[in-house]
Amino acid sequence: MKINLKRVDLKKLKDLDKEKVSQAFQKAVYSPYLYLILGLFVGLLVTTQFKTQSNRPLTPVLFYGQLQDDKNAFEQKQNDLSSQVKTLQTEVKTKENDLVNKNIVSTTMLNDLSDQEMIFGATNVSGQGVAITLSDGEMQIKDEETKSLAHAADLRDIVNLLWYAGAEAISINDERLIYNTSIDCIVSTIMINSNNYAPPFTIKAIGNEDDLSNVINSSRKLVDIKKRADKKQIVFNLQAQNNITINKYSGPYSKQ
């Protein structure tokens, strides 16, 4: 018994499948339902965009008004913080005087308290010391303009050296420096205790004026600053003084 098996032409089968796929694709492309679905999808995207657009003001006047309100609120917060600092300082001084008058604390404890007050800048300080002027220079060389500017790093170097030399209290432009004071560059100004300052800078330090002067004038200290000062790229002057007064710390944002 013979069974006739027809041979399947695979090539023709593949060509037939391709033709069917092509016909189906063309039918889908020219189908109105496809364009309807695309239209609905685009409409959904546009609607979502309108719903999620930002609330940014459309006119500069409204934007300026918002900035002015923020500025006023910030200034009010500054004043509140400054008032709180002054109130706390007054309370501490009053309680300290009560303890002294009642002989409740020992001399050692009072001395320790005085040292802590110095660290926190809680009292005014007067005495001998040095005053340093640091400012931008007049000589500006092309491609070296940054060297003619007084940088925050310069102030930090000077302050750190003064602490090292034994300074008891330091201020910059009458801003009392305390244990956590930061000196940072903010655009064209320098921020000290969250207050912005611009050159010239007057750095005052109370301590033994000879010790402070000798360390600052040492040829091995502040080499870059002195080199720029010799070239008149910056101003750097030091003067020993017998009577310097540095006011107590007045709080952040107090000089705005």
- Do residues 249 and 163 touch, judged by C-beta distance below 8 A? no
pLDDT in tens, 193-251: 888 999 999 999 999 999 999 999 999 999 999 999 999 999 999 999 999 999 988 77
- Do residues 172 and 131 touch, judged by C-beta distance below 8 A? no
Whole-number Cα distances in Å, 254 to 72, 171, 195: 15, 14, 7
Q: Does residue 169 surpass a pLDDT of 60?
A: yes
Which sequence spans correspond to the domains of the chain? 58-104, 124-246
Q: Which of 44-58, 127-141, 148-162 is predicted most confidently?
A: 148-162
- CATH class for the region spanning 124-246: alpha beta
Q: Region 111-125: what's the mean pLDDT? A: 76
Q: Does residue 100 surpass a pLDDT of 90?
A: no
Quickly state the pLDDT bin for 77 (edges 50, 70, 90): confident
pLDDT, position 8 = 47
The pTM for the full model equals: 0.62
Query: Given strand 125-136, what is the order of strands in its sheet?
Result: 175-176, 169-172, 201-206, 125-136, 234-246
